[in-house]
Each structure stands twice: as structure tokens, then as C-alpha cells.
Amino acid sequence: MPNSDLLPSLLFKINENQLALEAAIMELTLWVEARGSADVAGNVRGAMETIGRNEEFIKLTLAVLMAPE
């Protein structure tokens, strides 16, 4: 398998890790928020919005890269 064939799989795994981290961070955000740190939770939610905005582009790009030619 040429190295260039590994790129889509690598990007898929990186995206998968990003989604797992996003879920973990959201769990921590909910925990922090429940303990009265609304400012911290709000800051984290703002950063999570960036991840959300980029997620659709990443998914579309992966779909194009992994599509059979």
C-alpha cells in the first residue's frame, strides 16, 4: 500500500479522535457547570462551537478523499 493511500485512513482516525475528545470535554463542561462555574462552562462551549463549525467540512473532505476513484 503506497503511503498516499494511508492519508485518508489517518485523517479519518484523527477526526475520530477529535470527536471523542469533543464528547469528553462536553462531559467535563456539564460537570463544571453543575458545580456553579458558568463562566468556565461558557468559555468551553465557545471553543466547542469552533469544533462544531469545522466538523461538517472535515466530514465532507474525508468523504471525498475516501471515495473510490
- Over the stretch 27-54, which tens digit does the pLDDT of each residue have? 999 999 999 888 988 898 898 888 888 8
**What's the whole-model pTM score?**
0.69
Residue 37: domain span? 3-62
Number of structural domains (the chain) is 1
- Give yes or no for a contact between 9 and 59, defined as CB atoms under 8 angstroms apart: no
For the cut 90, the answer to whether the pLDDT of residue 61 exceeds it is no
The answer to whether 21 and 44 are in contact (CB under 8 A) is no
pLDDT given for residue 23 in this prediction = 92
50 belongs to a structural domain: yes
**pLDDT over 60 at 1, yes or no:** no
Q: Which residue has the cell 469533543?
A: 22
Cell of 21: 475528545
d(CA 49, CA 30): 15
Is 58 a member of any domain? yes
Model confidence over 5-15: pLDDT tens digits? Answer: 788 888 888 88
Task: Report if residue 33 sits inside a domain.
Answer: yes
